[in-house]
C-alpha cells in the first residue's frame, strides 16, 4: 500500500513514487521518482526520440505536445497525457545521471487491470549493454506483481531494434495502425462522384456501429476516447449529449445503389484539430472512404487539421487519394499479465 503523506502535490507525488519497493539487487536500476527525476527523464526521452536540442539550444521537439504527433495530446484521453507526464516507472542511473527510462501507465478497463509501457529510452552512449532489457524486465515484473491482466505498448513499425527486444520479452503484435493528417480545404466545395453522401442516416446506425467496432476494435478501445457511442449516436439522446459535452459531430454515410458502404464522423470541440472516425462495410469499395474523406475536408472550418487513425494497409491508397498524409505507423504489442510464465520476468 502506498504510504499516505500530507502536503499537497509534493505529498501526492511522493506517495506515488514510494509505492514501488526500492530495488536492492541492482546498483543502477531504481524506481522513477517524479519529484527528482522528471526533468532528466523528459530530456532523455527527447534526446532518444527527437534528437534533443537544436544548435540554438532550444528544444527541437517536446514530449509535451510541440511535435506534430503532440497535437494529439490536446484531445487525447487521460491515458496519453499520463504517458507524457509519467508518474510511475524505472530509471537506470549511472555516472551520476539518468541514462535509461521506462514509464508505466496503469489503468482499469471493464474491471481488467491493464498496464501501458511507454517512454522506453536509453542514452546513445549506453546502448547495447542490456539496460533496456533490464528496465523492461523490471517493468513487466512490476505489472505482473500487481495482477495486470495484460501489458501493452506501441512502437513505430520501422523501429526494428525495439521490436526485436519486445518480441524477445514475450510481446506479440496485435494491430498495426497509421495516423493520417490533412488540412481542411473548404475550396473543394464537397465531394462529387459515384457515391451519394447521406448526412443523417439514422436507419443504418446499427450497421455503422458494427463497422466502427471493426475499425476501432474493443481490444484497443481503452486507448481511445472514441468511438464514444453517446457522442456519435444520431438520435435525440446523442444530440443532447453533444450539447452538454460541447462536441460538434458531422457524419456522412456513403451510399451506392441504395446500399450504405461506409461511414465517417468528424468530431470537433473548439480546437483546431478535428478527429475523424471512419469505417467501411466489409468488402466495400475503398473509394467510398475517399469520398467521405474529401467531404470531411471540404466541410471542416478553414485552417483546421484533420486526424484519422486507421488500420494500416486496409485502405491506404484510398486515404492518400483524399489528400491525407501518413504521420506514423504504430505496431501495437501485447504481453500476458499475471498468467504469464516466469520466462518473461527473468
Ligand atoms: C531501443 C533502445 C531502448 C534499446 O536500448 P539498449 O539498452 O541498447 O537495448 P539492450 O542493450 O537492452 O538490447 C536489448 C535487445 O534489443 C535489441 N537491440 C538493441 N540494440 C540493437 C541494435 N542496434 N541492433 C539490433 N538489435 C538491437 C537486441 O535484441 C538486444 O538484445 P541482445 O543484445 O541480447 O541481442 C534504445 O536503442 C533507444 O533508446 N532507442 C531510441 C528510443 C526508442 O526507439 N525507444 C523504443 C520506442 S518504443
The per-residue pLDDT for range 131-186, each reduced to its tens digit, is 999 999 999 999 999 999 999 999 999 999 999 999 999 999 999 999 999 999 98
User: Is residue 329 lining ligand 1, measured as CB closer than 6 Å?
Assistant: no
- What b/e readout covers 114-143, taking b as 16+ CB neighbours within 10 angstroms? bbbbbbbbbbeebeeeebbebbbbbbbebb
Residue with cell 537506470: 92
Residue with cell 438520435: 235
**By mean pLDDT, which of 82-96, 235-249, 280-294 is the weakest?**
82-96
User: Is residue 133 lining ligand 1, measured as CB closer than 6 Å?
Assistant: yes
Pocket probe for ligand 1: among 122, 159, 171, the residue whose CB has the most ligand atoms within 8 Å is 122
pLDDT interval class at 20 (50, 70, 90): very low
CA of 163 to the centre of ligand 1 (A): 9
Q: How many other β-carbons are positioned within 10 Å of the β-carbon of residue 112?
A: 13
CA of 76 to the centre of ligand 1 (A): 28
Report in angstroms the alpha-carbon separations of 338 from 157, 229, 261, 278: 27, 31, 42, 35
User: Is residue 107 lining ligand 1, measured as CB closer than 6 Å?
Assistant: no
According to the model, what pLDDT value does residue 73 have? 38
Q: Which ligand 1 atom is at minimum distance from the Cα of 168?
A: 29
User: Is residue 308 lining ligand 1, measured as CB closer than 6 Å?
Assistant: no
According to the model, what pLDDT value does residue 231 have? 84
According to the model, what pLDDT value does residue 6 have? 35
Q: Where are the alpha helices (DSSP H) in 300-345?
A: 316-321
CA of 127 to the centre of ligand 1 (A): 7
Mean pLDDT rounded to a whole number for the chain: 82
User: Is residue 128 lining ligand 1, measured as CB closer than 6 Å?
Assistant: yes
Report in angstroms the alpha-carbon separations of 266 from 3, 25, 224: 45, 52, 15
Q: What percentage of the chain reaches a pLDDT higher than 90?
A: 60
According to the model, what pLDDT value does residue 132 have? 97
According to the model, what pLDDT value does residue 107 have? 83
Distance of CA 217 to the CA centre of its chain: 14
CA of 146 to the centre of ligand 1 (A): 26
Q: In degrees, to the nearest 5, what angle opens at C-alpha 28 toward C-alphas 23 and 34? A: 70
User: Is residue 127 lining ligand 1, measured as CB closer than 6 Å?
Assistant: yes
Which are the contacts of 86, defined by CB distance < 8 A and separation ≥ 6?
32, 34, 38, 41, 103, 104, 105, 118, 119
Largest Cα–Cα separation, the chain = 69
Q: Which ligand 1 atom is at minimum distance from the Cα of 156?
A: 48
> Which 3 state secondary structure label does DSSP give 77?
coil
What's the CA gap between 42 and 33, in Å, rounded? 13
What secondary structure letter does DSSP report for 137?
A: H
User: Is residue 163 lining ligand 1, measured as CB closer than 6 Å?
Assistant: no
**By mean pLDDT, which of 76-85, 146-155, 282-291 is the weakest?**
76-85
User: Is residue 259 lining ligand 1, measured as CB closer than 6 Å?
Assistant: no
Please give the average per-residue pLDDT across 195-218, as a whole number. Answer: 90
CA of 130 to the centre of ligand 1 (A): 8
CA of 64 to the centre of ligand 1 (A): 24
- Decide if pLDDT at 60 tops 60: no
User: Is residue 164 lining ligand 1, measured as CB closer than 6 Å?
Assistant: yes
User: Is residue 118 lining ligand 1, measured as CB closer than 6 Å?
Assistant: no
Q: What are the strands, taking DSSP E only, across 141-199? A: 150-156, 172-183, 196-198
Contact present, 277 and 226 (Cβ < 8 Å) = yes
Please say whether the structural domain 179-330 has been given the CATH code 3.40.630.30. Answer: yes
What's the CA gap between 272 and 153, in Å, rounded? 28
According to the model, what pLDDT value does residue 111 have? 82
- Residue with CA nearest ligand 1 atom 15: 165
pLDDT interval class at 225 (50, 70, 90): low
Q: Where are the alpha helices (DSSP H) in 18-72?
A: 34-50
What's the CA gap between 131 and 91, in Å, rounded? 10
pLDDT interval class at 343 (50, 70, 90): very low
According to the model, what pLDDT value does residue 44 have? 95
Pocket probe for ligand 1: among 44, 51, 125, 165, the residue whose CB has the most ligand atoms within 8 Å is 165
Domain with CATH 3.40.630.30 in the chain: 8-148, 179-330
What's the CA gap between 170 and 343, in Å, rounded? 8
pLDDT interval class at 203 (50, 70, 90): confident
CATH topology of domain 8-148: Aminopeptidase (3.40.630)
CA of 87 to the centre of ligand 1 (A): 23
Residue 323 or residue 226, greater confidence? 323
According to the model, what pLDDT value does residue 186 have? 84
User: Is residue 121 lining ligand 1, measured as CB closer than 6 Å?
Assistant: yes
Amino acid at each position: 500500500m502506498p504510504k499516505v503523506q500530507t502536503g499537497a502535490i509534493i505529498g501526492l507525488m511522493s506517495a506515488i513514487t514510494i509505492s514501488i519497493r526500492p530495488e536492492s539487487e541492482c546498483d543502477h536500476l531504481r524506481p522513477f521518482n517524479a519529484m527528482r527525476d522528471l526533468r532528466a527523464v523528459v530530456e532523455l526521452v527527447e534526446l532518444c526520440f527527437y534528437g534533443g536540442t537544436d544548435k540554438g539550444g532550444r528544444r527541437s521537439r517536446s514530449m509535451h505536445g510541440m511535435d506534430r504527433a503532440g497535437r494529439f495530446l490536446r484531445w487525447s484521453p487521460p491515458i496519453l497525457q499520463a504517458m507524457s507526464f509519467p508518474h510511475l516507472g524505472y530509471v537506470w542511473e549511472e555516472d551520476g545521471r539518468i541514462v535509461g527510462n521506462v514509464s508505466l501507465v496503469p489503468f482499469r478497463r471493464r474491471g481488467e487491470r491493464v498496464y501501458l509501457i511507454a517512454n522506453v529510452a536509453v542514452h546513445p552512449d549506453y546502448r547495447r549493454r542490456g539496460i533496456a532489457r533490464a528496465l523492461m524486465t523490471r517493468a513487466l515484473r512490476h505489472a505482473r506483481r500487481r495482477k495486470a491482466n495484460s501489458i501493452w505498448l506501441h512502437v513505430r513499425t520501422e523501429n526494428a531494434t525495439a521490436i526485436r527486444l519486445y518480441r524477445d520479452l514475450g510481446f506479440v503484435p496485435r494491430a498495426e495502425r497509421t495516423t493520417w493528417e490533412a488540412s481542411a480545404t473548404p475550396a473543394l466545395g464537397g465531394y462529387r462522384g459515384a457515391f451519394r453522401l447521406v448526412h443523417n442516416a439514422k436507419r443504418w446506425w446499427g450497421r455503422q456501429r458494427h463497422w466502427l467496432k471493426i475499425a476501432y476494435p474493443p481490444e484497443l478501445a481503452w486507448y481511445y476516447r472514441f468511438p464514444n457511442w453517446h457522442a456519435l449516436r444520431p438520435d435525440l439522446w446523442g444530440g443532447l449529449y453533444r450539447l452538454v459535452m460541447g462536441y460538434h459531430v458531422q457524419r456522412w454515410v456513403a451510399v451506392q445503389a441504395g446500399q450504405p458502404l461506409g461511414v465517417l464522423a468528424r468530431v470537433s470541440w473548439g480546437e483546431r484539430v478535428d478527429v475523424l472516425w471512419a469505417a467501411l462495410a466489409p468488402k466495400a469499395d475503398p473509394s467510398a472512404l475517399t469520398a467521405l474523406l474529401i467531404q470531411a475536408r471540404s466541410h471542416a472550418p478553414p485552417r483546421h487539421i484533420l486526424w484519422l487513425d486507421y488500420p494500416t494497409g486496409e485502405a491506404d491508397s484510398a486515404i492518400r487519394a483524399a489528400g491525407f498524409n501518413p504521420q506514423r505507423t504504430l505496431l501495437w504489442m501485447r504481453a500476458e499479465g499475471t498468467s504469464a510464465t516466469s520466462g518473461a520476468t527473468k
